[in-house]
A and B are shown apart, each in its own frame.
Chain A
Amino acid sequence: MDFRLSAEEEALRQRVEEFVRAELVPLEPEFADAPDIFDGSRWKSRVKSSADPEIRRYLALMEGLEKKAEAAGLWHLDVPRQYGGMEVSNVALIAVTEELEKSAIPFELGNHVSNILYSCKGEQIDKYLWPCIRGEKTSAFGLSEPASGADPSMMQTTATPDGDYFVINGTKMFPTFADVADFVQLFARLPGTAGREGVTCFLIDTGTPGYRIARSIATIGGTEPCELVFEDCRVHKSQVLGEIGNGWALNQAWLGARRFQVGIRAHGKSQRVLRVVRELVRHEPARAGQIAATAGRFLGEIEALRALTYVGAWKADQKMDVRSEAANVKLFATELLHRIIDFALEVAGQSGLRKNHVLARAFRHARATRIVEGPSEIQRHIIQRALFREGAAALELT
């Protein structure tokens, strides 16, 4: 057994560590008062269409960072080699994100490329995949519906074949950034199918007749997901991503790959929240004494999260079935972060709930993470399913 990063992974980690130290940390005072929109990765989408000079100023800073990262060769880390990326391992991506999370600047090394777009074929590659890799286009993910969230197999949106076309009818809830995206990855079912059968994924351009974005919806976390309506929207069969009727696997792949990043992000954020707590009690030794045991318990839990995350990422690199590990990490990470922020607010008192306070922001964001991309209850369901399928062997060392 060996817990060390490979030489290559370690070299990459060190370069990112240096980048964070030299480029991100110095910007932290500047970003302390950045608009809410610069939390998380949202600045990459909606912000770009903003005319607000304050937002433009922060955007310019972020774009400057992008150029520096690209020049330093720290770009497109997870993009496959055939598309000019570095195709680094899952473990390396976790190590890189762990370094990035040491700074509060919401910066990521690369554009958001929805991983299922690597299933693009023929003209789809030039039309969707490359522009996303280059950062020229963004996508939204249309899976949930008004009557089906955690269980997408209940989706009702239909794609009825009509010659070389499909006619799409239905409503999608909560695709984030659909209003500023260039296209949506839409899941719909073939007529007469049920459950996981017949689910098909389409790439549908914004502005396609019959597709409209009905509204955006304000949420606690500050993201504004949208409601999408499809009324007799005709889509050519060349817009099918992957195979007709085989969309369920894509939906699973999209979710699976993100779990370990959720884990290491929560790991970093949890530590930052505890550092805020440390500052709050810096000059109050008695208070520090009172909360020491709780803080210590959380530090141990943060270490446990880190271990779970690296192990899961390593297993994913070995092409093992990581559905259970991924559920484990998602559950542990989001529940832990939420509890830590709750504790921090107890220490801070009501001043921590001032709208722009770093804890108040973290509090609003963390609540949503226990729901999005599969609520905690679904994660427990996935975990128990593996336990009853494989028995205790599911936890055996190999």
Chain B
Amino acid sequence: MDLKLSEEEKLIKDTAAQFVDKELIAREGEYLRQPAAFLPPGAPARRDLDRQIRSELTARAREVGLWCLELPEELGGSGMSALARVLIHREFGRSILPFRPVSIPAFLFETPYGARLADGSVSLALAFAESHRTGELADLQILYRQEPDGSVLRDSSIFIANPSAELFLFPAREQGTRRLGLFVIARDAPGVTITDEVDLTTDGTVARLLLRGCKIPNEQLLGYEYEAGETIAAEQLGLAARSLGIAMRCLASSIEHARNRVTFGRRLAERQAVQWMLADLSVEMRACTWLTLEAAWRCDQELTYFEEAALAKKRATKMAFHAADTAIQIHGGYGVCKEFPFEGFYREARLMRLLYGREDELDRAAGAKFLNAE
């Protein structure tokens, strides 16, 4: 066993940490600042990062190798290991600024869209709606029929997050054979419509992807069951890693605040109620850190890792939610203010818990597998 970061892993982690501190956390004040002294009635508007800043950040992230993490070396990328990606996403998780390297499955770089995905001129959304409940792809709504010159999709409608993307990756089930196919389709392809976009309680939106009379050329069928499973596991590891970052930020700020804030003549840090909240949080953080790293390491070693990734995501996202909740409580009134990052983490983590496998469903599946074994 050697649980120290290698020199290369350390370099990657430090690069990401510096980027996050200098480029993201340094901009948070401006991003979180309320636009006017008095707000109009109603809920505050959805926040988004200024386009100009986003493209500058993308350029800088690309310069230091923190973009298109999956892009293979032979295509000019860094082909980062799953472990390195976890280290990077963990750092990006520390900032509330909505900016992070987008995960693009490596097989997409070999398609005609590869170059534009790599240079950032088009963005990708995963349309894996069915996987959010169970973390698996058992009941796919989209069915397809293979014809010599392409796949004909049955008309369908599924929910997608990130509806502003130009490309959508989605799994579908072949009629008859029950084989799973993984397709990519462009937003402007015939038969594709995005409708009913609504705000989420996070600063994102959700919309409906309508597919009507779509026929997809064969080169846009990118993979099968395993590739779909890998895509889900990669998302789960990304969510787990981001959760670790959220928790690190919440813990660090809470410790700092508890050291300084005085109530009834004593610092919060001396109060057992506060000490134990943070102690319990740190226990769970340690557990989630190592579950996530080990799952990523197993992926790199080509060992089985789907169940490990699902477990890491399940625990870590819940832990991040708990971390944000704890930070809000310890920061008191400031905790719920939108000028501080904690309420944003709180809303975001709540959503993350619902992506790529809900806790109860993952638990039930793991439990059923165990109870039905010999």
Contacts and interface: CB of A to CB of B under 8 A. Distances in A.
Given A388-B255, A395-B248, A332 B297 contact: no
Interface stretch (A38-46, A110-118, A194-202, A304-312): A304-312
Contact of B362 (A91, A296, A325, A387): A296
A59 to B, nearest CB: 33
Contacts of B2: 1-2
A1 B9 contact: yes
A381 B275 contact: yes
Contact of B367 (A294, A315, A332, A388): A294
Contacts of B373: 278
A314 B370 contact: no
A1 B279 CA distance: 26
Interface string A299-326: 1100111011011001100100000010
A366 to B, nearest CB: 19
Contacts of A387: 251, 255, 278-279, 282
Given A384-B279, A398-B5, A288 B363 contact: no
B1 A310 contact: yes
A1 B364 contact: no
Contact of B311 (A291, A300, A331): A300
A307 B364 contact: no
Nearest to B368: A292
Contacts of B283: 328, 331-332, 383
A311 B370 contact: no
Contacts of B370: 274, 278, 295-296, 299
Contact of A293 (B282, B288, B364): B364
A57 interface: no
B291 to A, nearest CB: 5
A65 interface: no
Contacts of A303: 291, 308, 311
A206 B238 CA distance: 60
Nearest to B94: A392
A395 B1 contact: no
Contact of A6 (B1, B294, B369): B1
Interface in B272-304: 275-276, 278-280, 282-283, 285-291, 293-294, 297-298
Given A288-B372, A293-B363, A300-B311, 13 more contacts: A2-B297, A292-B371, A293-B367, A296-B369, A297-B363, A299-B367, A311-B290, A332-B283, A380-B280, A391-B252, A391-B255, A395-B248, A397-B289
24 contacts: A1-B293, A2-B297, A4-B1, A292-B368, A293-B364, A294-B363, A294-B367, A295-B367, A296-B367, A296-B369, A297-B367, A304-B287, A304-B291, A307-B287, A307-B294, A308-B290, A311-B3, A318-B4, A328-B282, A392-B251, A395-B248, A395-B285, A395-B289, A397-B5
